[in-house]
Structure 1
């Protein structure tokens, strides 16, 4: 059976995003999930997350000792130090050398923290390592969420410092809850049914719930964008399941690496540990992409850019959007956002945003920012009675402005003079005829 590549490409770029009549809710839901998964995989590679994961892994290696030292210092103060060390060794039970190595470095770091030298250089190195890791994570998340404006310096200092102290405290609180759950389960061991459920919950459900909560917090607060909590729950659940599976593979898959351990000995712990960190960041960023498309799927309704639309059709689309905006303004109706205009004109949002940008660049429409929300609405820049189809086409076709003389070229000199004048005259007549058509008279929509 011959595979039709073009049909598959059409389905993934256009067909899958087209609305069909008389579709069942189950089919629509399935198609929507397929759209999210396809876009997540596509943009995971398009946005080059491989480079981000490598950078994040390096930053993690640099910051893991200072972070672990801070966590153990706070844990020892609350009396959870030994329990936390036990949990840490269980998590790295497949690589006890790596666990011992990290714990020794952490203890050494805490010992030197009591000396005067730590107050100066040591403190600066710790702060730089932690801040660098947080900054790298934020950059990766902002890249996913298409954020162009970074946090101000004051917000960076306040937010990063708060995060640096809240994370260890949260881990300590979770450790305390884990101790409570362990003692509670031990009391239920005598009961066959309840004991089995409690043991299963402590072994699988509790770690999964804690990881899910941590991912939700990470996905909501780390990007410098407005992220809805409801859109992060499902990706966070998927990420936590993937992380637990990765941990199980990391722990139980060591039997297949006996030859690798035999060759490299105790040194094998370091590259395997780094590989585990790298895979963890891949999971984290993939599910962050899923959060983005879970919230912004309508912006990728059709994977077509305006460059793929012929010039004549693009002018028709621009005229439709401008006519809609002018018509609402002339009727004293409330200006609309890009999504609202898209819902009434049925133009894909990616094309819509580019059309609005072009109309704004030629000063036919203006953006209006709401002081109470992040919404941006659009209104005409001048009297709608004076905006015509011909004026719109003349402005759009003359941008971007470029002087042919810079290339040493002049169409008046290069062309036959009679033909040049004839073409110019025909174009002037063409634009004059179109300037007799008012843009707001093209279409008319009633108020919603």
Structure 2
């Protein structure tokens, strides 16, 4: 009997394999819950989420000012553009006592962003940085959700612009409601009492956490190019919101107590602290996105972000199932399938399904529209079952230049040719239309 001394393997066997060592319901529930933090910590240690968070920090430095300036332009028409300043301060509060000065300097930058000062080229660059940030956020969330195909260009333009216009309006409405509540006479009377004043202050801090949670939940449902269930998005939003609030309080305490950093970096200490906080904020957001994926797809917690490698047999079965679903919808006149719906229907990650669809596209069997709908590329009577199998076989990509040069054994070649002949004989004369009509 061999004993596995690798602690990671032993932990994974305890969490994911078989029954718990103790047949006690609370222990089983505890092990089930521990799977999520273990999977998230493991994914963080692999480094991919860290790299994407660093990339988002760099893009944020270029786009944060123009993004807020664009929001100001939308809100200025409503006369409430200054209401966005408290939101910026709340985001920078963990930086420490210098948050007020940093917010004031930031607002000065924003107010200097005017069309007459920048010109058309400058405004175009600022708009590009905003779109690039949203695009990088989509790529990071797609990575967390195992999605290979991003939105099409037309969908990006329409949905990104909608988010940039509607987002500031939603923020303004939320801030307006909070301001209206704060101006109520009854609330002012309550705040004058010590007990109720402290309770209302606590509710105000909880309101900030609730606002962040709702915003993150919306992002987790909207940004990934796949269908995210509300329950999974809410779980990620709640966890990320709580983690953001706790990290903010801890980070603010560390910055306040770090007199050595101020002594070493002097005036640059505030910018260094802001950079670290932006990085932590992006890490927390990506952790929430990863958690929402695991809540909706718990079977992927064991593998994590390891690329899903399909066997040749599974590729063939997926290709046949894909073509069958698409053909049936085409014949029935139903709504065409989309990649994300197909991945959900077949219960497989989009990153694993995408290469199969690409092989079928290259073989001229499928085509993808601008609306990301998958349709047959030619008449169903002209699509043979054997062509579908050949399109997704691994060796099809290399046989023209590699298979002819490989020094294979004649006996092995004869056996492989016999298997190929049997497959061709079994599928000979069968078309996709005949299979879809069964």
Give the TM interval when normalised to the shorter protein: 0.5 to 0.7
Query: Could you report, residue by residue, the CA deviation over 1:192-236 in whole angstroms, capped at 9, with x for unpaired residues?
Result: 655443332123x21111111011011110111100111122221
Partner residue of 2:157?
157
- Which residue in 2 is equivalent to 1:329? none
Instruction: Quote the Cα distance in structure 2 between the aligned partners of 1:91 and 1:201.
Output: 20
2-structure distance, mates of 1:306, 1:134: 27
1:116-150 per-residue CA deviation (whole Å, 9 max, x = no partner) reads: 34451332122112111111111111111122222
> What residue number does 1:345 align with?
none
Matches of 1:28 and 1:117, distance apart in 2? 63
Q: TM-score, normalized by length of structure 2?
A: 0.68
For residues 290 and 226 of structure 1, the distance between their equivalents in structure 2, rounded to whole angstroms, comes to: 15
Tell me which residue corresponds to 1:48.
48
2:115 aligned with 1:120? no
**In 2, Cα distance between equivalents of 1:403 and 1:16:** 43
Where do 1:49-448 residues align within 5 Å?
A: 49-72=49-72, 74=75, 77-79=78-80, 81=82, 84-85=85-86, 88=89, 91-92=92-93, 94-95=95-96, 97=98, 99-111=100-112, 113=114, 116-118=116-118, 120-184=120-184, 185-190=187-192, 194-203=196-205, 205-300=206-301, 402=399, 408=405, 410-411=407-408
Q: Distance in 2 between matches of 1:252 and 1:405?
A: 62
Greater Cα offset, 46-55 or 101-110: 101-110
How far, CA to CA, are the matches of 2:146 and 2:93 in structure 1?
Answer: 36
**1:231–1:265 Cα change, 3 Å:** same
**Using the alignment, how far apart are the partners of 2:107 and 2:195 within structure 1?**
42
Q: Return 67-76 or 178-187, whichever deviates more.
A: 67-76
User: Offset at 1:349?
Assistant: 9.8
- Tell me by how many angstroms 1:43 deviates: 3.1
Q: Tell me, in whole angstroms, the C-alpha distance in 2 between the residues paired with 1:248 and 1:80.
A: 28
Structure 1: distance between partners of 2:294 and 2:417 = 46
Contact 2:147 2:226 in 1 (8 A): yes
Give the superposition deviation at 1:254. 2.5
Structure 1 residues 77 and 95: alpha-carbon distance in aligned structure 2, compared to 1, 3 A threshold:
farther
Q: Deviations for 1:45-76, whole angstroms, at most 9, x for unmatched residues?
A: 44712221111011111111122334445269
Query: Match of 1:9?
Result: 9
Distance 1:430 1:66 in 2: 62
Partner in structure 1 of residue 32 of structure 2: 32
Asked if 2 retains the 8 angstrom alpha-carbon contact of 1:80 and 1:175, the reply is: no
5+ long unaligned stretches in structure 1: 325-336, 343-347, 376-380, 438-448
- In 2: Cα distance, 1:7 partner to 1:168 partner: 48
How much does 1:339 deviate?
Answer: 8.9
The answer for unaligned runs of 5 or more in structure 2 is 322-341, 375-379, 427-438
Structure 1 Cα separation of the partners of residues 249 and 122 of structure 2: 35
CA RMSD of superposed structures (Å): 5.4
Superposed displacement of residue 282, structure 1: 0.8
Tell me which structure has the larger Cα radius of gyration: 1
Cα distance in 1, alignment partners of residues 191 and 107 from structure 2: 36
Name the CA distance, whole Å, in 2 between partners of 1:283 and 1:291: 12
Q: Is the CA contact (8 Å cut-off) linking 1:181 and 1:202 kept in structure 2?
A: no
- For 2:293 and 2:100, the matched residues in 1 are separated by 35
CA distance in 2, matches of 1:321, 1:164: 38
- CA-to-partner distance for each residue in 1:137-185, whole Å, 9 max, x for gaps? 1111111112222212221111111111222222222222332343354
Cα offsets for 1:84-129 (capped at 9, x unmatched): 359727943745556435533533542451x534451332122112
Decide which moves more: 226-235 or 241-250. Answer: 241-250
Shift of the 127–292 alpha-carbon distance from structure 1 to 2, 3 Å rule, reads: same
Distance 2:15 2:317 in 1: 24
2:297 is paired with a residue whose SS is: helix
SS at match of 2:211: helix
Distance 2:171 2:66 in 1: 15
Question: Is residue 63–residue 126 contact of structure 1 (8 Å, CA) maintained in 2?
Answer: yes
